[in-house]
């Protein structure tokens, strides 16, 4: 039940009626008219800009036109207490207390669908996220993007879209060669007591490679590790397999499961790179040419040479992009173009990529390639997950993947738990940097948003326990003729904003709006709860250890929404804290 959509429809019907009576003039399209959440300074429930939008077409001031429309609004709807026109022409609508009683019943009866947009066209999305190189465990740098991708998927699913969650495995190229050699040297260290060549900066020195090496030697007793060249292909497969097992375990500890894992190596082996180059060539998007030195590069050391280039500048990129290296092998970009052709061939309505901050500069070239491949603009949407700054004991906590002394996802979860990791990583917009303070996320106070939301749910659960009811069971209420107080209506008004929160989170792919909303709702609930400390009338349970139906339904609706929202975020709602 989206009250803002309901009243927007009512406004449009009133406009149609007024138009037929020749009281107002309507343009061909009613674009730009809205019914929105009013600013905090206005004491009303819904605000609409309709008078300002239609003012020019009617050659009337927004105030005069607003008076005509507001009068019809009040006359046509017995749930409107008043409709007032305020400068510069907004119509502010106040609803009667009875409306909120009906609203409370409506959302209780439709608790599973409350918030979902039934009018929105349903699409089939492919969300690709994490896609870290399979060379070791996931670290905190991957964590924020992983949670962002997972919760974007969750909110799309909640709104009844189809979603496939995918991980692109970069198991081809020099980093995999160096990774395999690193595992090989760890195996030699175990079997032949040879010292790991730590001075070789191309190798991965992390201790996790020792575990990979032990697993491989235990599982592959017949494999001869005397000669690297003879076993390199098989060892590469085994090493990547070990890394993926660990990555999947890391993801599982975050509560994340992907539907698909797509191998870059298989794309190359299946000639999908050659096929996409052929497609682009036939459509005149590829040519042989030279690229100038990148900005900041020493021009004296830059060698211009003929390369196979994609016409990225045709789509607004600052330069064309190389598809082939000097040794004839494909660039990472070429493989990525082939991967996106593979995605497009699977007929998704929309592709979403979650990228780390270090890949922000990559967006234009890959969206350009998708535009060329699909002949459709905006088929691919890229969301950037900005950096996370770790803080412990009021000091920055550094990490370095190459040196092997970085903080893994498992380290983080063992320190603060899955719930805190997911909620706090999502608590700010993904396009701004995030401070993750280890001390704050385990604090039991209002300053810890996760605790404050979970505590609201636990408080409501305690009320249900005291009256011998299960918070997860349906209520059996016969009479909904409630008389809610102004404090309770304030909270119900906040609940009414939930569908708009979901709609914005879905359309803008901004799931941080959900924990922010839950925190605001919980804050209002805690404020109301605290009124009962001094005023017995505000307490949920009376002197007879009973609770009135209006308060029972009120609490149930709050708990349902918190549970629904926390489920989208992927966080638990404990009944005791």
DSSP 379-447: SEEEEEE--EEEEETTEE----TTTT-PPBHHHHHHHH-HHHHHHHHTSS-TTS-EEEETTGGG--STT
DSSP 452-504: HHHHHHHHHHHHHHHTT--TTSPP----------HHHHHHHHHHHTHHHHHHH
Same domain (yes/no): 88, 182:
no
Answer yes or no: are the C-beta atoms of 137 and 408 closer than 8 Å. Answer: yes
Residue 532 is part of a domain; what is its CATH number?
1.10.730.10
CB contact burial 75-92 (16+ within 10 A = b; e otherwise): eebeebeebbbeeebbbb
Structural domain for 62, as ranges: 3-95
Answer yes or no: are the C-beta atoms of 576 and 458 closer than 8 Å. Answer: yes
Residue 58 is part of a domain; what is its CATH number?
3.30.1360.70
CB count within 10 Å of CB 530 equals 11
Residue 27 in any domain: the answer is yes
Closest C-alpha to 85, from 106, 111, 65: 65
The terminus-to-terminus CA distance of the chain in angstroms comes to 32
Residue 326 in any domain: the answer is no
200, 232, 247 - which closes a domain: 247
Residue 124 CA to residue 122 CA, distance in Å, equals 7
**Dihedral, CA of residue 406, residue 407, residue 408 and residue 412, to nearest 10:** 180
Residue 409 in any domain: the answer is no
Residue 501 in any domain: the answer is yes
Same domain (yes/no): 563, 465:
yes
Residue 282 in any domain: the answer is no
* pTM of this structure: 0.90
CB proximity list for 230: less than 8 A, separation 6 or greater: 224
φ, ψ dihedrals at 263, nearest 5°: -90, 125
Host H or E run for residue 562: helix 549-569
Residue 263 in any domain: the answer is no
Residue 212 in any domain: the answer is yes
65, 95, 125 - which closes a domain: 95
Alpha helices in 130-255 (DSSP H): 140-158, 174-192, 208-219, 228-253
Same domain (yes/no): 454, 562:
yes
φ, ψ dihedrals at 118, nearest 5°: -75, -20
- Token representation of residue 431: 């396009």
- Token representation of residue 369: 């390639």
Same domain (yes/no): 182, 71:
no
Total number of domains constituting the chain:
3
Closest C-alpha to 513, from 172, 155, 219: 155
Query: What pLDDT is recorded for position 298?
Result: 56
247, 278, 308 - which closes a domain: 247
3-state secondary structure string, 30-54? Answer: CCCCCEECCCCCCCCCEEECHHHHH
φ, ψ dihedrals at 355, nearest 5°: -115, 150
Instruction: Please list the ranges in the chain whose pLDDT falls under 70.
Output: 293-303, 398-405
Query: What pLDDT is recorded for position 301?
Result: 61
Residue 260 in any domain: the answer is no
Query: What pLDDT is recorded for position 402?
Result: 43
């Amino acid at each position: 039940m989206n009250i803002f959509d309901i009243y927007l429809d009512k406004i449009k019907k009133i406009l149609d009626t007024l138009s037929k009576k020749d009281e107002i003039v309507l343009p061909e399209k009613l674009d730009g008219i809205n019914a929105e959440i009013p600013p905090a300074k206005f004491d009303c429930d819904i605000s609409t800009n309709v008078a300002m939008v239609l003012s020019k077409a009617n050659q009337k001031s927004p105030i005069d036109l607003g008076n005509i429309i507001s009068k019809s609004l009040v006359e046509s709807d017995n749930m409107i207490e008043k409709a007032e026109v305020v400068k510069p022409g907004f119509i502010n609508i106040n609803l009667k207390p009875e409306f909120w009683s009906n609203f409370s019943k409506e959302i209780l009866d439709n608790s599973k669908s409350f918030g979902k947009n039934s009018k929105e066209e349903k699409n089939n999305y492919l969300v690709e996220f994490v896609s870290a190189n399979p060379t070791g465990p996931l670290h905190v740098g991957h964590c924020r993007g992983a949670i962002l991708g997972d919760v974007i998927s969750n909110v799309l699913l909640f709104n009844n879209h189809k979603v496939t969650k995918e991980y692109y495995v970069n198991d081809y190229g020099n980093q995999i060669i160096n990774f395999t050699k690193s595992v090989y040297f760890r195996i030699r260290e175990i079997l032949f007591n040879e010292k790991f060549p730590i001075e070789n900066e191309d190798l991965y020195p992390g201790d996790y490679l020792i575990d990979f090496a032990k697993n491989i030697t235990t599982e592959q007793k017949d494999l001869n590790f005397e000669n690297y060249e003879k076993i390199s292909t098989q060892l590469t497969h085994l090493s990547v397999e070990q890394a993926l097992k660990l990555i999947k375990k890391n993801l599982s500890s975050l509560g994340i499961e992907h539907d698909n894992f797509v191998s870059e190596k298989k794309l190359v082996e299946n000639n999908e790179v050659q096929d996409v180059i052929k497609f682009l060539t036939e459509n005149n998007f590829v040519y042989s040419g030279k690229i100038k030195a990148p900005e900041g590069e020493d021009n004296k050391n830059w060698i211009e040479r003929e390369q196979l280039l994609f016409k990225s500048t045709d789509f607004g990129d600052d330069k064309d992009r190389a598809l082939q290296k000097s040794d004839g092998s494909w660039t990472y970009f070429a493989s990525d173009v082939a991967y996106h052709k593979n995605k497009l061939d699977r007929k998704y309505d929309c592709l979403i990529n979650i990228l780390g901050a270090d890949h922000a500069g990559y967006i234009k070239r890959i969206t350009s390639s998708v535009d060329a491949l699909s002949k459709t603009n905006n088929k691919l949407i890229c969301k950037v997950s900005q950096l996370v700054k770790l803080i412990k004991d009021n000091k920055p906590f550094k990490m370095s993947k190459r040196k092997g002394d970085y903080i893994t996802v498992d380290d983080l979860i063992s320190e603060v738990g899955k719930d805190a990791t997911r909620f706090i990583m999502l608590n700010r917009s993904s396009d701004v940097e995030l401070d993750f303070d280890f001390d704050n996320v385990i604090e039991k106070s209002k300053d810890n948003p996760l605790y404050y939301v979970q505590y609201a749910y636990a408080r409501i659960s305690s009320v249900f326990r005291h009256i011998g009811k299960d918070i997860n069971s349906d209520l059996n209420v016969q009479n909904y003729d409630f008389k809610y107080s102004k404090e309770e209506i304030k909270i119900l008004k906040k609940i009414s904003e939930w569908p708009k929160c979901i709609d914005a989170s879905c359309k803008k792919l901004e799931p941080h709006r959900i924990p922010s909303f839950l925190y605001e709702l919980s804050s209002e609930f805690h404020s109301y709860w605290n009124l009962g400390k001094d005023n017995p009338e505000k307490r949920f349970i009376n002197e007879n250890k009973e609770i009135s139906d209006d308060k029972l339904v009120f609490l149930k609706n709050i708990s349902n929404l918190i549970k629904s929202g926390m489920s989208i975020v992927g966080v638990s709602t404990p009944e005791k804290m």
